[in-house]
Amino acid sequence: MVRWRRILGGLAAALTVASMGTLVSASPASAEPDGPQKVVGGTRATQGEFPFMVRLSMGCGGALYSPTLVLTAAHCVNRTGATTSITATIGVVDLNSTSKVTRRSNYVYRAPGYNGNGKDWALIRLSSPVTGFATLPIATTTAFDSGTFTIAGWGAATEGGGQQRYLLKATVPFVSDSTCNSSSMYNGQIVATDEICAGYTAGGVDTCQGDSGGPMFRRNASNAWIQVGIVSWGDGCARPNKPGVYTQVSYFSSAIASAAASLGG
Catalytic residues: 75, 120, 212
Is residue 58 a contact partner of residue 86, using CB atoms and an 8 Å limit?
yes
Q: Which residues contact 176 (CB under 8 A, 6 or more apart)?
A: 197
Is residue 78 a contact partner of residue 88, using CB atoms and an 8 Å limit?
no
First to last CA, the chain: 36
- d(C-alpha 97, C-alpha 73), whole Å: 25
Eight-class DSSP state of 249: H
Residue type for position 75: H
Residue 189 C-alpha from the chain's centroid: 20
Go through 159-196 and write b for each residue having 16 or more CB atoms within 10 A of its CB, e for each that does not.
Answer: eebbbbeebbbbebebbebebbbeeebbeeebbbebbb
